Amino acid sequence: MSTHGFALGNLPDEYEDLRSTVEEFTREVVAPVSAEHDAAKTFPYEVVSGMADMGLFGLPISEEYGGMGGDYFALSLAIEELARVDQSVAITLEAGCSLGAMPIYRFGTDEQKQKYLPALAAGTSLGGFGLTEPGAGSDAGGTRTTARLDGGEWVVNGNKQFITNSGTDITSLVTVTAVTGTTTGKDGNEKPEISTIIVPSGTPGFTAEPAYNKVGWNASDTHPLTFDDVRVPEENLLGRRGRGYAHFLSILDEGRIAVAALAVGAAQGCVDESVKYAREREAFGKPIGDNQAIAFKIARMEARTMTARAAYYSAAARMLAGKPFKKDASVAKMIAGEAAMDNARDATQIHGGYGFMNDYVVSRHYRDSKILEIGEGTTEVQLLLIARSLGL
């Protein structure tokens, strides 16, 4: 796919065709079951199977490893369309591809890629991204999980927290960061050596604990993980020893573009629902959309959405052009996350009492969107990264 011509309302044909296809799938397959899965807090296996059949999980992965040979912008467009209606489904795709498969695609050996990527790209299996710990969230460098070599095997001990796609029936692996020793920093002081290790599901001692009772993203699979003397082959080291933390940070830089796309989809979904409601709902003898107070609120929602979309389009274009994009990804993620939360709040207000009912899409967006200001780097972390890029 071409990496040129990202413009609002003027996508190249191959991207527009993809976007349109996913829009139709979202309308016909996702929307009818979203409320049911949200209420029951069940993982939407039938929806995930449909996305797998469309090749969405393999969009940015080369055909050599079973992917579609597309790019990260294509993945982001698909995520945006899904998130308009169902953020749980969108984050399942985002995490399955950008967090589950991409570490192996970016840093794995050819043998690891051949072994794991075809199923991940096909969407017949899911991978988790084991970075966050009970005491290491924004401070991901404070990893306490350990891995030591013993007789040609890594012995992993520790805990991970808030790990998406880690406990489904089709989860095949989790890549985890672990302290594998110590190294000397530029300042001459010792610091933890953090590496990344592939842990297949079903390995003795690896337990996906009971799922969280969450505020939102109820149909997304999220678990704490326990590693108790988990033994995996030495060749399950992913990337260079001691580069695990750096590898995962680069994965997060890419992932922030995809999460920004998800947030834009959520923000757009709130606009769509609010326009529809404002046209249909009458008060004092006329549609509420005839009132400037309502019309202007929706206009601001649309402005936020367009601004956030332009930001993630720009970050994706820089990434695909091989230009530095870390700051751009942080800007996009921050702006989009705030737009989603602000739009969800406004959409709920526009819907009045109905907006507080779980039967309405905006109520789910209200519950779901808060995590977009937290996950894959809080708003405060994005501000820190932006400030550092400016030399502050």
* CB contact set of 87 (below 8 Å; sequence gap of 6+): 216, 217, 220, 262, 265, 266, 364, 365, 368, 369
Question: Can you say whether the dihedral through the CA atoms of 307, 310, 314, 315 is positive or negative?
Answer: positive
H-helix or E-strand containing 198? strand 190-200
Give 79-125 pLDDT, tens digit per residue. Answer: 999 999 999 999 999 999 999 999 999 999 999 999 999 999 999 99
Average pLDDT over residues 295-302: 98
Reading the block at residue 94, the tokens are 């985002």
| 287 and 207 inside one domain | no
Per the residue annotation, which of 94, 280, 376, 380 is the catalytic one? Answer: 376
- C-alpha span between 128 and 94 (Å, rounded): 11
Look at residue 1 and tell me if it is in a domain: no
pLDDT at 2: 39
Per residue in 43-64, pLDDT (tens digit) is 999 999 999 999 999 999 999 9
- The yes-or-no verdict on residue 7 having pLDDT over 70 is no
* Domains of the chain: total: 3
Last residue of a domain, one of 242, 260, 294: 242
pLDDT, tens only, 325-356: 999 999 999 999 999 999 999 999 999 999 99
Question: Is there a domain that residue 7 lies in?
Answer: no
Q: How many CB atoms lie within 10 A of CB 249?
A: 14
pLDDT of 359 reads 87
pLDDT value at position 73?
A: 97
How are beta strands 126-130 and 171-184 bridged, if at all? Answer: parallel
> Which of 126, 141, 160 is at the close of a domain?
126
Residues 45 and 155 in one domain: no
Do 278 and 292 reside in the same domain of the chain? yes
3-state secondary structure of 179: strand
Shared-domain flag, residues 218 and 271: no
- 21 lies in which domain range? 13-126
Q: Which helix (H) or strand (E) holds 231?
A: strand 222-233
Confidence of residue 303 (pLDDT cuts 50, 70, 90): very high
Is 235 catalytic? The answer is no
In this predicted structure, what is the pLDDT of residue 103?
A: 97
In the predicted model, what is the mean pLDDT of residues 74-80? 98
Q: Residue 136's pLDDT band (boundaries 50, 70, 90)?
A: confident
Domain containing 221 — which CATH number? Answer: 2.40.110.10
- Do 168 and 47 belong to one domain? no
Same domain? For 274 and 371 the reply is yes
Which of 155 and 9 is assigned the larger pLDDT? 155
Q: Mark whether 202 and 258 lie in a shared domain.
A: no
38 and 148 part of one domain: no
How high is the pLDDT of residue 8? 65
Rounded to an integer, the average pLDDT of 14-22 is 96
Q: Same structural domain for residues 237 and 132?
A: yes
User: Which stretches does DSSP call E strand in 50-189?
Assistant: 126-130, 146-150, 153-164, 171-184
Calpha distance 360→380 (Å, rounded): 31
CB 59 within 8 A of CB 73: no
Q: How far is CA 115 from the centre of its chain?
A: 24
What is the spatial distance between Cα 58 and Cα 82, in angstroms, rounded to a whole number? 16
For residues 22 and 109, state if they share a domain: yes
Q: What is the pLDDT of residue 367?
A: 97
Q: Over the stretch 211-260, which tens digit does the pLDDT of each residue have?
A: 999 999 999 999 999 999 999 999 999 999 999 989 999 999 999 999 99
The per-residue pLDDT for range 148-200, each reduced to its tens digit, is: 999 999 999 999 999 999 999 999 999 999 999 998 877 778 889 999 999 99
Question: 258 and 332 share a domain?
Answer: yes
**Residues 351-373: pLDDT tens digits?**
999 999 998 999 999 999 999 99
- Is 5 among the domain residues? no
- Where does a domain end: 183, 216, 242? 242
Whole-prediction pTM: 0.95
Q: Are residues 140 and 231 in the same domain?
A: yes
Confidence category of residue 4, pLDDT binned at 50, 70, 90: very low
Q: Looking at the domain assignment, is residue 4 inside a domain?
A: no
Domain of residue 31, CATH code = 1.10.540.10
